[in-house]
Each structure stands twice: as structure tokens, then as C-alpha cells.
A and B are shown apart, each in its own frame.
Chain A
Amino acid sequence: MGKSVGLDIHERGVRAVEVTGSGKKFRVGRYMEREVTPRGGAPDPEEMRVALAEVFKHYSKHHVIASVEASDTVVREIPVPFRADDQIRKVVKYEAEHHLHDCDADDVVVQYAKVGESSDGTNLLVFAVRKDVIGRRIEFARAAGVEPLAMDLDALALFGAVKTAGLIDESPTCVLLDIGHRSTGMVFVVDGTVRALRSVRLGVDSISHGMAREMEIDAGEAGEKVKEIAGEDEGDLLVPLHPGEAKPETAKGHAELERDVFHQKRDEFAGRLKREYVRSVAALRGGASPSRVIATGPGLSVPGLLELLAERLGVPVEPFRPSEAFSCKLDGQKARFDESGAVALGLALKGIGQDPLSLDFRQEELKVANKFELLKNSLAVTVTLLFFGLLAFSGHCVYKMRQLEHQRFEGIVDSAYKPFADVVASYNGLGSMIEERHQVDPNAVERGGPKPEAVKRFLQTLERMKRNLHTIVGDAKGLPQITSALQVWNDIFATVGKLHEQIDFVDFESIEVTQKRVTLVMVLPDVEAGQRLEEGLKRVEFLSAMTLEEWGASPYPGTNHQKITFSFKRIER
């Protein structure tokens, strides 16, 4: 089961969410956040290292997706005269360069999302982030022993989380508001796709800072007062809509005055946010009108802010509560997770494949080049375990082999060797019948030791001896049989003997019997006797497998008899 950690690094701290499962079915397992002191708009590196180290005591370091703040990003919509991704990828950086006024194209990572197509090409929403900004965040993570596999904009991560929750499908044209401490991110979604991104240097800190100025207290104290007010009944904190009913200033107590200052600063914040919102919506191409605003971030904890924004913006403003949208096991962190965990959740979801825009800001020299570096510790553990596993296995095999060798096989070989040695002795004792090169070394098998091959060799040697002996005896398999010429001769004479009375007399002039041919030359009273004899001869076993090649008769000189020749030849198959 996959595990992914989303790491939202921002100027005031870190937030981390762990998600377990796959893109289709997952569970939010743990949420943590740690604050650090911002120094000149950036988090203190040492404090950040400590915070991350503390966070990653509780999380896996192997599949981490980190964030880049949208406030550090230049976002432009630009047209390119191509539609194919590979062509766009080649030119986007140089097309974007025209829109980057304060930095070189080589100093930024450029990513893009398609927002529409025209007859001339494609409209792109281009995001450019300085490499040093990304590099600084990678360094933060590395200092805590973490190597982020990918990096994405916080605003786009929020879009991913909201889309996965199904809210974009409900309201395809909407605005996502990430109301932070010092800035507010706005993601303008038209027809389900991100059409614009803005980061406004306006956060909820402006309320406490405004109160601090007004009440002449320091910002920290003002922040505490905002929290105190937030802890009271939210119903009383709504903006007084009917100023005529308000008490005169002189009749108000200290607490009421503080509340009034809070209301005033909150109104100012809402008003400024509205201006930015209206300006951005007006700039959207096609005149799209958002049907809903989905809000998240620390701004959710400011009492009455969402209601005020809804009133000012003229559209419903609803908080995004991921704990209600997804299966979670958060143990007391639910409220904090709902308020500030959406970005980290979007990053974690990207790690398990829920990544609508598929952007990664770790590119070029910032790319995760050496996967080995990421895997080396796991690899070291794995090879060690494998090594000892294999060592144990081979040890077991060797031990087993020795056991078999000494306890069982020795006996088997010994019992087999005795009869073998006896047969070899008598075989070799055949003397000149077995040429020296065909004799068997009686010690050859014994020298081999008690091994499985020994019996196999016994059998092979015996087979060879048997084959040799069969060859000598003349009945080896596949060997043409020798028929004794004496036997053939006897059979011919037996046949002639049987016919002797019918053919008066037979005198043999010559007889020639070989394995392939039999030739008989004989003197007979007449040709008819020869024919009779031929019938008899054809029944002789050896001759029956031959063909009568020649049959000749001629007068025998000085007599009335006939000299008859029979020549049989073996039929070759």
C-alpha cells in the first residue's frame, strides 16, 4: 500500500499530512504543523531544520512532496502557436521569458497548464519560479534528511485537494481562497480548469497589525486579542449592520472598544480582499462569473470573516473542510487540519497519483537525478537481509548435503561397489578378447568418492561392458547377424538328400557360401531335375531371404547330363 507525505513549507512554519493508499482509495493518517519565526520574509533555516526534523520523527521520509509558495511565482497566460505537448515544452520557457522582466529564463523553472485552445494554437497558464527559491526549500528538507520527490505550488495543491473532494465537479466555475497570515492565494477555476492564479500580499496578520497600530500595542499582543475575541461567541462578533443602533463611543467598555477595532480592521481586510477579487475576476477572459468561493487557511479562524466576505463578494463563501470530505484518522488534529491542512493534503494526494495538473517544479538541475540516493538506505538494509538469508540458505544446503553424503550415500555406494568390482575383474580377465583400451579401471569409480554420480557411473560402465560383450558374442543390438556358412551348407545338403531319389543323382562341382551370395554348380541328370531342385532350395531358410539371380544349364561334356548353376544373392534392404 502506498504512503505519501505532503509537506507544506511556508514562511511561518511547516505542515505535513500523511496519506496511505492508492489514488482511488486512500486515508489521511496523520497531520502535524510546527511554527518557526519568519526572518525577512523567509523562515529561519535552523528553526526550520529543527521543525522538520521533529515532524519527520513521525513520518516516512521516502515519498515526500513539498510545496513552493504561489507568492514566489510569476503566473502569466500566454498563447503559443502549437498544440502538441512536446512542441510546447520546447518553446514554453523562451516564450515565457518575454513575460519575466526581472530574471533570466535560465534562473527559473517554468511549468505550464493548458487553459484553452484557439485556431492559432494553445493558451497556456505559465508558472515561473526562481530556482534559488526552490533550491532553498530543497535545502530545508535535506537538512532534515528528506529528499522531496517532487514540488508543486501550494495554490495548485489546494486545487488538487478540492478537486479530489469533488467540489470542483459541483461548482466548475469557482474561486479557491487560501487566506494565509501574510498573503492570500486565489485560484480562479473556470469550467473545472485553473484559469488564473493570484497571490495577494494581504493576510489575516493585517487585522492584528492594524489593531496593534490603532491600540498602540505590539503585534503579538494584538494577535492574542484576536484569538480572545475568536474564543467568544461568534454570533456577537458579526459586523454591526445597523450602525444607528450602536452605543455611543463614550458608553463603551474597554473590551467593546477592542471589538470595534477588530471589526473595523476585519472590514478593511475584507474590503481590500474584495477589491483584489473583483479586479481579478474582471481580468478573467470570457467574463466567467464564479458561483462559489471555497476558502481555507488560517483566515477561517477569524470570526465572521467568511460571512463578511460572502456579503461583500456577493457569492457564497464556504470553508473547505477536508476531514469531512475524506476518510481521516487524525486524533485531535481535526480542527487544525481543516483550517490549514488542505495544501499539505493536496501535495500528499499528488504523491499517490491524484494530480490534476501533473506539474513538478523539480526540473533541470533541481531534478531528483539520482534515485539511488533516495533508495540507498533501504537498499543497504535489503542487501544485508538478502545476504544473511542466502548465507543461511547455502549453509543449510551444505549441511544437508554433508548429512546425506556421510550418513546415507556412503552405504549405498559401498553396497553397489562390491558386485561392480567383481564383474569388472572377470571382464578384464577375458584377456585378449578385450583389448586393453576397452578394459575398465576398477578403481576409477572408487576414486570418485561416495557421490551421486558414482552409481550413475557404475551403470554407465556396466552398460558399456555389456555392449562390448554382445559385440564379441555377435548379437549386439543393431549388429548384422553372422549366419554360419556351415549351417547353410548343411541345410542345402539336407534338402538335396531329401530330393535324391526323385532326381536320381546330384554331383556338386562347386559350392560357394558367403554372407551375401550362395552359388551352387552341380551335375544333374536333366534340366527338369534342376527345376525340381530349385524348388527345394528356395525353401532353405538362408536362401529364402535371397533372390535367385542366375539359373543356368548346359550339357556336361562327355555325358547326357546337365551342368546346372544356381546363384542366389541376398536382397539388400
Chain B
Amino acid sequence: MTEDPVKLYVIVMAILLCVLSYVAYDSWKQASAYEAAIHRAPREAEQMKTLASEVKALVDQIAKSELRDGGEKVLIERVEKTMNLTRSQYGSDTVPIGRGVKGREKRFTYDYGGGRGSPALRRLEVAKFCESVERASGGIVKTIELQLRRATGEGAPEVGKTEKVTDDRYKAKIVFGLRVVD
């Protein structure tokens, strides 16, 4: 330890100076940030208003759909029940949207016309079913795949008819899907 009081004083003051420099710098930085924030405030307030209204519009869009009441599966099956359709098979899965894209896709697969108790569907029934689901979900749930195969046997159409036939029956596989946040 030094015996020179001036030297000791200089050392202590130098240490204090370092600490104080940091405190002063920090205070200055914070004060500058406050000033900048106040300067930015009117612009940011405006930005917030715009953003809040955009979010509100999206929330309203989703809120209007019937998805809120139990989710997408409940919605699809409610429509199915209303139309008195009987499925032969059901499956669901969740897959990533794709390479480089954040998010997942939920898929619900319904098969109709797979045998007894599950009659093949008319084209109009398929169209109405898909349309009802899409509309009820506010466009959020979409028909992402559709497979129709002409049904054979009873109710099968006669090939080569010249008039427009609307009651041909088809085995249908319908996949509904929607995007979810990852």
C-alpha cells in the first residue's frame, strides 16, 4: 500500500472516476433514450392505432366464423350432420406448411361412399358440403383436396347420356385444412 497520500488519493479518485463515468454514461444513454422515445411517441402512437385496428379487424373476422364454438372439427361435423351425410372414414393430421415457411397446416379428411351405411354423394351434395364448411368458417377452413370417383352399382350413371345429369353419385374424399401458428 502506498504511503503517499496524494498518490492514494489519485488512485481512489481514478477508480471512482471510472465507476462514475459508467454511471454518467448509463444515465446519459437512458435520458437520451427517453428523449428519443418522446420524440418518436406521436408517430408510434399513430402506428399503434393503425396496428390495433388491423389486429381488431382480423380478430373480428375470426370471431365471426363459427370456429370459436369448439373449433374446426366441430364445425365440419355440424355441417355434415345438418346435411345428413354419413362418412365411412375420418382422419386428421398436422403437417408443416413447407420448407422455409413458418407455420403448420391442420388437415381433416372425410371419406364418403365407402360401403353400407355410407352412401356415395351427389356432386351437388359435395359442393354444398364444402361450400357450407368454408362459409361457416369465414374462409378460414378451406377444401384443400377433393377426390371424386364414379360410384358403381345402384345409382351409377349411364355412360353416354346426352342430357345433363345432376344426380350421378360419387365416392368422395374431401380434405379440409387450415393454417395454424407454429
Contacts and interface: CB of A to CB of B under 8 A. Distances in A.
A489 B37 contact: no
A471 interface: yes
Interface string A376-387: 110110011011
B83 interface: no
B7 interface: yes
Residue with the highest number of chain B CB atoms closer than 10 Å, among A390, A465, A515: A390
Interface stretch (B46-54, B85-93, B113-121): B46-54
B160 interface: yes
A486 B131 contact: yes
Contacts of A482: 142, 144, 177, 179
Given A412-B41, A430-B59, A452-B36, A480 B98 contact: yes
A419 B44 CA distance: 13
Interface stretch (A184-192, A309-317, A394-402, A529-537): A394-402
Contacts of A372: 7
A551 interface: no
Nearest to B37: A452
B143 A484 contact: yes
Interface residues of A, number: 82
B145 A507 contact: no
A466 interface: yes
A561 interface: yes
A427 B52 CA distance: 11
A463 interface: yes
Nearest to A392: B24
B130 to A, nearest CB: 4
Interface in B1-56: 4, 6-7, 9-10, 13-14, 16-17, 20-21, 23-24, 27-28, 30-31, 33-38, 40-41, 44-45, 47-49, 51-52, 54-56
Given A427-B59, A466-B55, A412 B134 contact: no
B62 A390 contact: no
B143 A485 contact: yes
Contact of A404 (B27, B35, B55, B56): B35
A285 B103 CA distance: 100
Given A387-B17, A486-B127, A508-B150, A420 B162 contact: no
A459 B38 CA distance: 15
Residue with the highest number of chain A CB atoms closer than 10 Å, among B7, B60, B63, B159: B159
Contacts of A430: 59, 62-63, 68
B17 A394 contact: no
B32 to A, nearest CB: 9
Nearest to A468: B181
A135 B41 CA distance: 71
Interface string A218-247: 000000000000000000000000000000
B34 A480 contact: no
Nearest to A488: B146
B24 A394 contact: yes
A559 interface: yes
A391 to B, nearest CB: 6
A438 interface: yes
Residue with the highest number of chain B CB atoms closer than 10 Å, among A409, A485, A512: A485
Given A408-B38, A470-B58, A515-B144, A401 B10 contact: no
A471 B102 CA distance: 9
Residue with the highest number of chain A CB atoms closer than 10 Å, among B36, B131, B150: B150
A469 B55 contact: yes
B7 A561 contact: no
B14 to A, nearest CB: 6
Contacts of B33: 452
Interface residues on B, range: 35 or more
A384 B17 CA distance: 9
Contacts of A119: none
Residue with the highest number of chain A CB atoms closer than 10 Å, among B35, B159, B160, B181: B181
A561 B63 CA distance: 52
A434 B4 CA distance: 70
A473 interface: yes
B164 interface: yes
Contacts, number: 234
Nearest to A493: B123
Contacts of B155: none
Contacts of A391: 20
A416 B68 contact: no
Given A401-B27, A468-B181, A469-B62, A513 B146 contact: yes
A490 B146 CA distance: 12
Interface string B163-176: 01000101000010
Given A455-B37, A463-B51, A511 B148 contact: yes
A70 to B, nearest CB: 36
B181 to A, nearest CB: 4
A94 interface: no
B162 A504 contact: yes
B160 A507 contact: yes
Nearest to A428: B59
A523 interface: yes
B6 A423 contact: no
A554 to B, nearest CB: 14
Interface in A448-497: 452, 455-456, 458-459, 462-463, 465-466, 468-474, 476, 478-480, 482-486, 488-490
A401 B34 contact: yes
A420 B41 CA distance: 15
Contacts of B37: 409, 452, 455-456
B114 to A, nearest CB: 15
Contacts of B7: 372, 376
Interface string A300-315: 0000000000000000
A485 B146 contact: yes
For the complex of A and B, 7 pairs with smallest distance between CB atoms: A452-B37, A397-B27, A469-B58, A394-B24, A485-B146, A486-B130, A383-B13
